Amino acid sequence: MEDTSLNNTALVYHPDYIKHNLGFDHPERPERISKVVEHLKSKNILNNPSISVSYPDPLNDKDLELVHTNDYIEKVRGMSNYGGMLSIDTPIQTNTFDIAKLSAGGAVLAGKMILEDKACNAFGLIRPPGHHAGKNYGGGFCYFNNIAILVEYLKKHFGLKRFMIIDWDVHHGNGTQDIFYEDPTVLYFSTHQMPLYPGTGYIEEIGKGEGKGYTVNLPLNTGTSGKTYEKILDDLFFPLAKEYKPDIILVSAGQDAHTSDPIASLQFTNQDYIMMTKRIMEVAKLICKKRLVMVLEGGYNLTALSETISNIITTMAGLNQLNILESSPKEIKIDKEVESKIEQIKIILKDYWKTFQ
Ligand SMILES: [Zn+2]
């Protein structure tokens, strides 16, 4: 008989996430949380016995310093006194510092739920997002790097040693990459549309110094279908995970590669996200005691975001999916170039990974 306690999924969010408001036409808007929560409620997901819901506390300054420089933290805190612009697309309002700390606190709580044996996997339904924030900079709607903070927190407080981050957001997680570029304790694996903001994430970016070989980038052409992702997981992610043996798998789960996303042009579907979640869960089960934390990054079509998140969470909890009916993308474009890029990556990484030799 399946042990039901091992199917327990933690969902972490906070009602105050909707107080982060960057102006009415900004794509990173409060409804990205409120609509998703509404949808989860309408599908009875929040009161499903396999899913526990908890609210985080804001991260304290000391834990922020695990990743960010003191100067940068003080800059965000100072600008939050009056408001300002961190970058052209990333305004700071008077509550930004507090809500950004609450977002980082959400990522941390998602990890703690697993390490304290209260759940077997977790989804952090958090905002603002984090993967474009580096040690001393923000941008791309990000202030503090939630997933990087989670990594350092789990190192410090739970003694974990090896982390694998899969960043399936349609944008390259330049901040996360920068933070761990010379760090072999974090294997960062990103797929992203290129060309697109922030313009980084070329195949040749593989890490530096001791971290060389521990950054993997697979840029995808406009129009690439999510069907391609199965091959990416099979040929790159799984072999790397089996050789690296991380203590936990983390996902920068931005669903803006969805075919209906208004600010990007890939063609992932609800079914693709279910497949990706299932496959990554299989690896987590095999390698790291099912430990899997997803944290929300982007995703700007509210319907697609609600449906993909509810499907991801129900998949994580071992429940049936709820919303897989959808119209197909106009044109399924299996990108042949992806295959050649996968081969290129294997060649570039063969000096660092036996599995590619
Ligand atoms: Zn994104």
Note whether 120 and 37 are within 8 A (CB). no
299 CA to centre of ligand 1 in angstroms? 6
152 CA to centre of ligand 1 in angstroms? 22
129 CA to centre of ligand 1 in angstroms? 9
pLDDT (0 to 100) of residue 108: 98
* 251 bridge partner residues: 166, 294
163 CA to centre of ligand 1 in angstroms? 21
Strands, sheet with 215-220, edge to edge from the N-terminal-most edge strand: 51-54, 9-12, 121-124, 292-296, 248-253, 163-167, 186-193, 215-220
Active site residues: 132
Amino acid, single-letter form, for residue 268: F
pLDDT (0 to 100) of residue 5: 46
pTM of the model: 0.96
pLDDT (0 to 100) of residue 1: 41
29 CA to centre of ligand 1 in angstroms? 13
What residues contact 330, with CB distance under 8 A and at least 6 apart?
Answer: none
Task: Split the chain (357 residues) into runs of 10 and give each run's mean pLDDT.
Answer: 61 98 93 98 94 97 97 97 93 96 98 97 98 98 98 98 98 98 98 97 98 98 92 96 98 97 95 95 97 98 96 92 58 75 98 98
Q: Burial letters for 335-356: b for 16+ Cβ neighbours within 10 Å, e otherwise?
A: beebeebbeebbebbeebbeeb
**In the numeric block, which tokens belong to residue 260?**
């209906």
d(C-alpha 295, C-alpha 130), whole Å: 9
pLDDT (0 to 100) of residue 204: 98
CA angle 292, 225, 40 (to 5 degrees): 45
185 CA to centre of ligand 1 in angstroms? 24
Q: In the chain, which ranges are E strands?
A: 9-12, 51-54, 84-87, 90-92, 121-124, 163-167, 186-193, 215-220, 248-253, 292-296
What residues contact 343, with CB distance under 8 A and at least 6 apart?
Answer: none
d(C-alpha 85, C-alpha 79), whole Å: 8
287 CA to centre of ligand 1 in angstroms? 28
CATH number of the 9-55+119-132+159-356 domain: 3.40.800.20
